């Protein structure tokens, strides 16, 4: 009730939120998938990981966890990972990008200015086997026709957010 615009997405029947151990949730989903059709790949279109700081919940930062997540994803899906400040923690950002780059064909860092974060400079990872964030065509006319009210996002911000400073880019394996 306090944030009606933000919370309206929770009413969408496509939205499913889970608030408990992410590794346990992934294991439960894999069991369901195996029982339904043992050889089937998952059908999740988008996974957004807004996890705790790296190293705090160790099982959520392992290659095994990411491999399990990938089994739940459809072949054309994307995963977005909340990362860290590329200005304050470039080694962590580069390390995680390399780690996840081993699991996905496309692994791209993108950045945003997030005033609630101490440095204000924050980064995320865009991961996919099928969608390249800069080369896969986006129907911007369709986007405009949806008339989604945004305060920050637009096509220029979309492309610009993947343009990272040279010192950070040199550390990445993009």
Question: What are the beta bridge partners of residue 122?
Answer: 112
Do residues 173 and 98 touch, judged by C-beta distance below 8 A? Answer: yes
Task: Choose among 122, 115, 118: nearest CA to 80.
Answer: 122
Give catalytic residues, as residue numbers: 50
Do residues 59 and 23 touch, judged by C-beta distance below 8 A? Answer: yes
DSSP string of 26-94? HHHHHHHHHHH-TT----EEEEEE---STTTSGGGGSHHHHHHHHHHEEEEEEEEEE---TTT-HHHHH
Do residues 104 and 127 touch, judged by C-beta distance below 8 A? Answer: yes
65, containing H or E segment: helix 63-72
Strands 73-82 and 44-49: parallel
């Amino acid at each position: 009730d306090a944030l009606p615009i933000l919370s309206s997405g929770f009413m969408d029947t496509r939205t499913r939120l889970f608030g408990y151990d992410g590794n346990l949730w992934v294991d439960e989903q894999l069991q369901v998938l195996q029982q339904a059709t043992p050889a089937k790949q998952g059908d999740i279109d988008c996974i957004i990981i807004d996890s705790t700081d790296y190293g705090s919940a160790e099982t959520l930062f392992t290659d095994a966890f990411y491999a399990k997540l990938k089994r739940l994803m459809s072949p054309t899906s994307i995963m977005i990972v909340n990362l860290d400040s590329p200005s304050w923690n470039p080694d962590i950002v580069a390390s995680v990008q390399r780690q996840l780059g081993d699991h996905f064909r496309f692994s791209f860092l993108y950045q945003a200015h997030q005033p609630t974060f101490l440095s204000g400079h924050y980064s995320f990872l865009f991961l996919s086997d099928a969608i390249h964030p800069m080369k896969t065509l986006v129907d911007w006319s369709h986007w405009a026709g949806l008339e989604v009210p945004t305060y920050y996002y637009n096509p220029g911000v979309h492309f610009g957010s993947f343009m990272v400073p040279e010192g950070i880019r040199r550390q990445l394996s993009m």
